[in-house]
Structure 1
Amino acid sequence: MSQVGTLAFDEFGRPFFFLKDQANQKRLVGNEAIKSHIMAGISVSKTLRTSLGPKGLDKIMVSPDGDVTITNDGATILKLMDVEHQIAKLLVQLSQSQDDEIGDGTTGVVVLAGALLEQAEQLLDKGIHPIRIADGFEMAARHAMEHLNKISESFPVDKNNLEPLVQTAMTTLNSKIVNRCLRQFAEIAVNAVISVADLDRKDVSFELIKVEGKTGGKLEDTLLVKGVVVDKNFSHPQMPTVLRDVSLAILTCPFEPPKPKTKHKLDITSVEDYRLLRKYEIEKFEEIVNQVKKAGANLVICQWGFDDEANHLLLQKELPAVRWVGGPEIELIAIATGGRIVPRFEELTPEKLGKAGIVRELTFGTTKEKMLVIEDCANTKAVTVFIRGGNKMIVEEAKRSLNDAICVVRNLIKDNRIVYGGGAAEISCALAVSEEADKITSLEQYSFRAFADALESIPLALAENSGLSPIETVAEVKARQLKEKKPHLGIDCVLSGTNDMKAQNVIETLNSKKQQLSLATQLVKMILKIDDIRSSEGMGGM
Structure 2
Amino acid sequence: MAMFPGSIAFDEYGRPFIILRDQEKQQRLTGTEAIKSHIMAGRQIAQTVRTSLGPKGLDKMMVSQDGEVTVTNDGATILKLMDVDHEIGKLMVQLSQSQDDEIGDGTTGVVVLAGALLEQAEALIDRGIHPIRIADGFELAAQCAVKNLEAIASPFPISNDDIEPLIKVAMTTLGSKIVNKCHRQMAEIAVKAVLTVADLEKKDVNFELIKVEGKVGGRMEDSCLVKGVIVDKTMSHPQMPKTLKDVKLAILTCPFEPPKPKTKHKLDVTSAEDYKALRQYEQEKFVEMVKQIKDAGATLAICQWGFDDEANHLLLQQELPAVRWVGGPEIELIAIATGGRIIPRFEEISKEKLGTAGLVREIAFGTTKDKMLVIEECQNSKAVTILIRGGNQMVIAEAKRSIHDALCIVRSLVKDSRIVYGGGAAEISCALAVSKEADKLSTLEQYAFRAFSYALEAIPLALAENSGLAPMETLSELKSRHLQENCPSLGVDCMLSGNSDMRDHHVIEALHSKKQQIVLATQLVKMILKIDDVRSQAGEQ
| TM-score, normalised via structure 1 length | 0.96
- Checking the alignment, whether the CA contact within 8 Å between 1:165 and 1:409 is kept in structure 2 is yes
- Checking the alignment, whether the CA contact within 8 Å between 1:84 and 1:539 is kept in structure 2 is no
Which residue of structure 2 lines up, in the alignment, with residue 166 of structure 1? 167
**d(CA) in 1 for partners of 2:263 and 2:522?**
63
Which residue of structure 2 lines up, in the alignment, with residue 79 of structure 1? 80
Which residue of structure 2 lines up, in the alignment, with residue 384 of structure 1? 385
Q: Which runs of 5+ in 2 are unaligned?
A: 1-7
Q: CA deviation at 1:299?
A: 0.6
**d(CA) in 2 for partners of 1:516 and 1:309?**
58
Which residue of structure 1 lines up, in the alignment, with residue 24 of structure 2? 23
Instruction: Please say if 1:7 is aligned against 2:10.
Output: yes
Task: Give secondary structure in 1 for the equivalent of 2:11.
Answer: strand
Instruction: Please say if 1:272 is aligned against 2:277.
Output: no
Which residue of structure 2 lines up, in the alignment, with residue 119 of structure 1? 120
Letter aligned with residue 7 of structure 1: F
Task: Give secondary structure in 2 for the equivalent of 1:315.
Answer: helix
Between 423-432 and 470-479, report the one with greater CA deviation: 470-479
**d(CA) in 1 for partners of 2:461 and 2:254?**
60
Letter aligned with residue 9 of structure 2: T
Which residue of structure 1 lines up, in the alignment, with residue 252 of structure 2? 251
- Checking the alignment, whether the CA contact within 8 Å between 2:9 and 2:17 is kept in structure 1 is no
Instruction: Please say if 1:365 is aligned against 2:366.
Output: yes
Q: CA deviation at 1:9?
A: 4.4
- Checking the alignment, whether the CA contact within 8 Å between 1:25 and 1:537 is kept in structure 2 is yes
**d(CA) in 2 for partners of 1:88 and 1:358?**
51
- Checking the alignment, whether the CA contact within 8 Å between 2:30 and 2:534 is kept in structure 1 is yes
Task: Give secondary structure in 2 for the equivalent of 1:243.
Answer: strand
**d(CA) in 2 for partners of 1:443 and 1:6?**
52
Task: Give secondary structure in 2 for the equivalent of 1:56.
Answer: coil
Letter aligned with residue 345 of structure 2: R
Measured against aligned partners, the alpha-carbon deviations of 1:187-221 in whole angstroms (never above 9, x if no partner) come to 11111111111222111111111111111111111
**d(CA) in 1 for partners of 2:457 and 2:292?**
70
Instruction: Provide closer, same or farther for how the CA distance between residues 229 and 39 of structure 1 changes in structure 2, counting only shifts above 3 A.
Output: same
Which residue of structure 2 lines up, in the alignment, with residue 222 of structure 1? 223
Q: CA deviation at 1:264?
A: 3.9
Instruction: Provide closer, same or farther for how the CA distance between residues 465 and 275 of structure 1 changes in structure 2, counting only shifts above 3 A.
Output: same
- Checking the alignment, whether the CA contact within 8 Å between 1:9 and 1:16 is kept in structure 2 is no
| Correspondences of 1:300-319 after superposition (within 5 Å) | 300-319=301-320
**d(CA) in 2 for partners of 1:49 and 1:263?**
61
**d(CA) in 2 for partners of 1:223 and 1:458?**
34
| Correspondences of 1:46-195 after superposition (within 5 Å) | 46-195=47-196
**d(CA) in 2 for partners of 1:297 and 1:22?**
71
Which residue of structure 1 lines up, in the alignment, with residue 521 of structure 2? 520
**d(CA) in 2 for partners of 1:265 and 1:120?**
72
**d(CA) in 2 for partners of 1:501 and 1:424?**
8
Q: CA deviation at 1:225?
A: 0.9
Between 347-356 and 284-293, report the one with greater CA deviation: 284-293
Measured against aligned partners, the alpha-carbon deviations of 1:496-524 in whole angstroms (never above 9, x if no partner) come to 33111111111111111111111111111
Letter aligned with residue 195 of structure 1: T
Measured against aligned partners, the alpha-carbon deviations of 1:295-347 in whole angstroms (never above 9, x if no partner) come to 11111101111111111111111111101111111111000000011112221
| TM-score, normalised via structure 2 length | 0.96
Instruction: Provide closer, same or farther for how the CA distance between residues 438 and 277 of structure 1 changes in structure 2, counting only shifts above 3 A.
Output: same
- Checking the alignment, whether the CA contact within 8 Å between 1:246 and 1:298 is kept in structure 2 is yes
Q: CA deviation at 1:170?
A: 0.6
Q: CA deviation at 1:153?
A: 1.1
- Checking the alignment, whether the CA contact within 8 Å between 2:117 and 2:451 is kept in structure 1 is yes
- Checking the alignment, whether the CA contact within 8 Å between 2:212 and 2:385 is kept in structure 1 is yes
Measured against aligned partners, the alpha-carbon deviations of 1:212-242 in whole angstroms (never above 9, x if no partner) come to 1111111111111111111100011011101
- Checking the alignment, whether the CA contact within 8 Å between 1:174 and 1:182 is kept in structure 2 is yes
**d(CA) in 1 for partners of 2:424 and 2:173?**
14
Letter aligned with residue 247 of structure 2: V
Which residue of structure 1 lines up, in the alignment, with residue 42 of structure 2? 41
Q: CA deviation at 1:494?
A: 1.5
Q: CA deviation at 1:477?
A: 1.1
Identity %: 72
**d(CA) in 2 for partners of 1:294 and 1:530?**
68
| Correspondences of 1:491-510 after superposition (within 5 Å) | 491-510=492-511
Task: Give secondary structure in 2 for the equivalent of 1:53.
Answer: coil
**d(CA) in 1 for partners of 2:283 and 2:325?**
22
Letter aligned with residue 47 of structure 1: T
Which residue of structure 1 lines up, in the alignment, with residue 336 of structure 2? 335
- Checking the alignment, whether the CA contact within 8 Å between 2:9 and 2:19 is kept in structure 1 is no
Letter aligned with residue 476 of structure 1: E
Q: CA deviation at 1:103?
A: 0.6
- Checking the alignment, whether the CA contact within 8 Å between 1:9 and 1:15 is kept in structure 2 is no
- Checking the alignment, whether the CA contact within 8 Å between 1:172 and 1:405 is kept in structure 2 is yes
Q: Which runs of 5+ in 1 are unaligned?
A: none
Letter aligned with residue 450 of structure 2: R
Task: Give secondary structure in 2 for the equivalent of 1:6.
Answer: strand
Between 343-352 and 232-241, report the one with greater CA deviation: 343-352
**d(CA) in 1 for partners of 2:354 and 2:87?**
53
Which residue of structure 1 lines up, in the alignment, with residue 3 of structure 2? none
Instruction: Provide closer, same or farther for how the CA distance between residues 470 and 277 of structure 1 changes in structure 2, counting only shifts above 3 A.
Output: same
Task: Give secondary structure in 2 for the equivalent of 1:304.
Answer: coil
Q: CA deviation at 1:17?
A: 5.9
Between 204-213 and 259-268, report the one with greater CA deviation: 259-268
Q: CA deviation at 1:29?
A: 2.2
Give the paired residue count: 534
- Checking the alignment, whether the CA contact within 8 Å between 2:9 and 2:18 is kept in structure 1 is no
**d(CA) in 2 for partners of 1:17 and 1:390?**
55
